[in-house]
Amino acid sequence: MPAAFDRLVVLDFEATCDNSDPPVPQEVIEFPSVLVSLTDRAVVDSFSTFVRPVHHPTLSAFCTELTTIRQADVDPAPVFPEVLAAHRAWLEGHGLFDSQGRERFAFVTCGDWDLQTMLPVQCGASGIPISALPPVYRRWINIKKVFLAVMKKAKTTGMPAMLQALGLELQGTHHRGIDDCHNIARLVFALADRGARFDLTGKLAASHYPELALDLQWGDRVERVFLKKRHLASLLGLASGVFHARMVRVLGPDGAAIEDDDPLAELPPESRLRVLSARDLAT
């Protein structure tokens, strides 16, 4: 089967850490990416920069030993909002979004931590609403899941173990972000050669999104509500309680039925949604 995406962007953050008392919040200190073409089986370009932590600016000895990133590397580096803007510009410069701003690629990570945990934590620490990020930053392909789908007898999914299972040697320094990105890219090519399909495997959990103010309309009645979790079931339950009737369908601002949770992640605050009850559908 053909790959779901022709172009992939490998991403692997490095962050502040300590073996005894981890910093809170953790902050990204290296933001690397590698753009790969599955059609050409080649690395197209790379993006790599250190990031200056602001909440805990001094790196621990453990962090430097693990990542090889030194204090002298991060002290003059740009802060995260500047790096994120530069990363988005790099993606756009490679034509990875169409004229409507829709992505033509997917991120690949080694595990779910980078985009499921670290990015929301960093955005919170930097005052960036997670819902303001382009949707592509909120869903990803976990290379470990692709690996297990192809190498069905594999028992471990650490990066060195996956490379070894595919007959590859670890190159560069493990836990240095840009080196890890290049090694993950080599995993991508090796798995693609074995027929792997690169479909999205994860998306940001609804709990990471802020409470959403909405106007719900049922017939001529309109009520302001606050949706705490962006789940369709939660929205229907909330509407049922507000209108004291069992609501079974939600129509978006464009009039189209909302069938799953995904559209709720992109709704701007104060959107107006129409709700329909079971009786409405029966008439």
Q: Between β-strands 106-109 and 139-142, what pairing exists: parallel, antiparallel or unpaired?
A: parallel
Q: Phi and psi of 9, rounded to 5°?
A: -120, 110
Residue 75 is which amino acid? Answer: D
- The answer to whether 92 is a known catalytic residue is no
Position 230, amino acid:
R
Catalytic one among 14, 27, 30, 103? 14
CA proximity to 73, closest of 58, 95, 94, 92: 58
Measured distance CA(260)–CA(46) in Å, rounded: 35
Beta bridge partners of residue 7, listed in sequence order: 37
CA angle 149–154–158, rounded 5-degree value: 95
- How many CB atoms neighbour CB 205 within 10 A? 14
Q: Is 55 a catalytic residue?
A: no
DSSP readout, 74-125? HTTSPPHHHHHHHHHHHHHHTT-B-TTS-BS-EEEESSSHIIIIIHHHHHHH
Catalytic residue among 56, 94, 174, 175: 175
Query: Which positions are annotated as active-site residues?
Result: 14, 175
